[in-house]
């Protein structure tokens, strides 16, 4: 997929683009989080339940831009949450 300029990305095309890229539809709140990061380019703190789909948000950004990104996740906390 060629690089897509963030500023030229049509806001109404984002849900369909993500569905075509990922093979499934995202929830409106997930699309809103992705839009905040890649279109508005604002910082995002996302707190959501296990299984909500947080990682797909951060995986979508390099897929859309065809780039490499670094995602840091607190795995120890993640393991503790899974056990409980």
Taking the C-alpha atoms of residue 20 and residue 13, their distance in angstroms, rounded to an integer, is 11
What pLDDT is recorded for position 3? 47
pTM of the model: 0.66
How long is the chain? 84
pLDDT over 70 at 9, yes or no: no
The answer to the question of residue 70 being in a domain is: yes
The answer to the question of residue 6 being in a domain is: no
pLDDT over 70 at 10, yes or no: no
For residue 81, what pLDDT band results from cuts at 50, 70 and 90? low
Domain with 57 in it:
11-83
* Domains of the chain: total: 1
Grouping H, G, I as helix, E, B as strand and the rest as coil, residue 72 is: coil
pLDDT, tens digit, 9 for 90 and up, residues 23-71 = 899 999 999 888 888 888 888 888 888 788 888 888 888 888 766 777 7
């Amino acid at each position: 997929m060629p690089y897509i300029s963030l500023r030229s990305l049509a806001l109404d095309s984002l849900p369909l683009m993500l569905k075509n890229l990922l093979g499934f539809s995202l929830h409106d709140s997930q699309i809103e989080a992705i839009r905040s990061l890649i279109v508005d380019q604002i910082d995002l703190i996302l707190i959501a339940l296990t299984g909500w789909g947080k990682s797909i948000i951060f995986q979508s950004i390099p897929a859309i831009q065809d780039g490499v990104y670094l995602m840091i996740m607190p795995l120890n906390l993640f393991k503790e949450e899974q056990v409980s």
